[in-house]
Amino acid sequence: MEPILIYGFPLGSSMGLIAAFEWLGQPYQLCRVDMLGEMRLPSYARINPRHETPALITPDGRVVTETLAITAWLEARDRTHRLGFAPGSPEADRMHQLMAFVNTGFTAAFSPLWFAMEARDLDRELAASLRKLAAARVIDRHDRLEEMISAEPYLVGSRPSLADAVLIGVARWLEYHGVAESARWPKLAALRARLEADPAVRYALAIEAGERPTGACTGHVALAEVIERFGA
Ligand SMILES: N[C@@H](CCC(=O)N[C@@H](CS)C(=O)NCC(=O)O)C(=O)O
């Protein structure tokens, strides 16, 4: 069986993992989840009790949740280093460092913005405070990431890697929440433009938009079927 990547829309961080599967170039399937609807239903807890995407169904039918666990799974299958680097190399260490930075503080900085947007009956003053606090944190994490970006074309070296995949799904939240202009961080803005022009990222964006372009993905599986076959 081919692995199945469960991805969320709209604007899921999982978009970057679809690009990563395309960079890997091995057959896989996708399962589309509406994060504002079906991901919140009790049935989805059989896939992830924390009601989050992404999730991966491995070829032997196990459910793997958490972005960094899924990137580790991809890395282990990337024998020719299409989206990573030789284990133990300085490039692999830097890739892991950047992925961890983006998946923790950088991504988490946006959480109060999502909460303020999605929570029902939230006090207006509390919502404004949450947005202010989050904006300061998002800007700080962007400042730190800008410092970490080198003169190389991608986060690590001259071709996209898993670090770029983890970044590209999340980086667009800056504009979505209207925190600041992306041009404020020129190195990051140039990197994002380069990635957004990458065929695999364009493929992932098209999939997210509901299109069905041709790629390494061999098809979609319905969420109900995935829950029934692989859920706990
Ligand atoms: N720690 C998880 C976090 C994943 C995460 O935050 N996913 C978001 C979508 S990008 C989510 O599902 N949020 C729950 C929601 O929207 O209610 C990981 O790294 O995979």
How does pLDDT run across 176-219, given as a tens digit for each residue?
999 999 999 999 999 999 999 999 999 999 999 999 999 999 99
Cα 51 to middle of ligand 1, angstroms: 8
What is the C-alpha to C-alpha distance for residues 185 and 188, in angstroms, rounded to an integer? 5
Identify the sign of the CA torsion 112, 118, 123, 127. Answer: positive
Cα 111 to middle of ligand 1, angstroms: 9
Sequence-separated (6 or more) residues with CB below 8 Å from residue 75: 83, 84, 162
Which of 47, 53, 73, 117 is the best mutation target for the ligand 1 pocket, counting ligand atoms within 8 Å of the beta carbon and taking the most?
Answer: 53
What is the C-alpha to C-alpha distance for residues 15 and 54, in angstroms, rounded to an integer? 9
| 163-166-167-172 Cα dihedral, nearest 10 degrees | 160
Cα 85 to middle of ligand 1, angstroms: 26
Confidence class of residue 94 from pLDDT cuts 50, 70 and 90?
very high
Which protein residue's CA is at the shortest distance from atom 6 of ligand 1? Answer: 52
Question: Does the Cβ of 67 fall within 6 Å of ligand 1?
Answer: yes
Question: Does the Cβ of 16 fall within 6 Å of ligand 1?
Answer: no
Question: Does the Cβ of 161 fall within 6 Å of ligand 1?
Answer: no
Average pLDDT on 91-114 reads 98
Question: Does the Cβ of 208 fall within 6 Å of ligand 1?
Answer: no
What is the C-alpha to C-alpha distance for residues 203 and 125, in angstroms, rounded to an integer? 40
Confidence class of residue 42 from pLDDT cuts 50, 70 and 90?
very high
Sequence-separated (6 or more) residues with CB below 8 Å from residue 165: 16, 17, 19, 20, 23, 71, 83
pTM of the model: 0.97
pLDDT in tens, 75-87: 999 999 999 999 9
**For the chain, percent of residues with pLDDT exceeding 70:** 100
Confidence (pLDDT) at 176: 97
Confidence (pLDDT) at 123: 94
For residues 67-106, b (16+ Cβ closer than 10 Å) or e, as one string?
beebbeebbeebeeebbbbeeeeebbebbbebbebbbeeb
Question: Does the Cβ of 8 fall within 6 Å of ligand 1?
Answer: yes
Contact of 5 with 54, CB cutoff 8 Å: yes
Pairing relationship of beta strands 4-9 and 28-34 according to DSSP bridges: parallel
pLDDT in tens, 6-28: 999 999 999 999 999 999 999 99
Cα 52 to middle of ligand 1, angstroms: 4
Confidence (pLDDT) at 229: 98
Mean of the per-residue pLDDT values for the chain? 97
**For the chain, percent of residues with pLDDT exceeding 90:** 99
Question: Does the Cβ of 52 fall within 6 Å of ligand 1?
Answer: yes
Confidence (pLDDT) at 79: 96
Average pLDDT on 117-129 reads 93
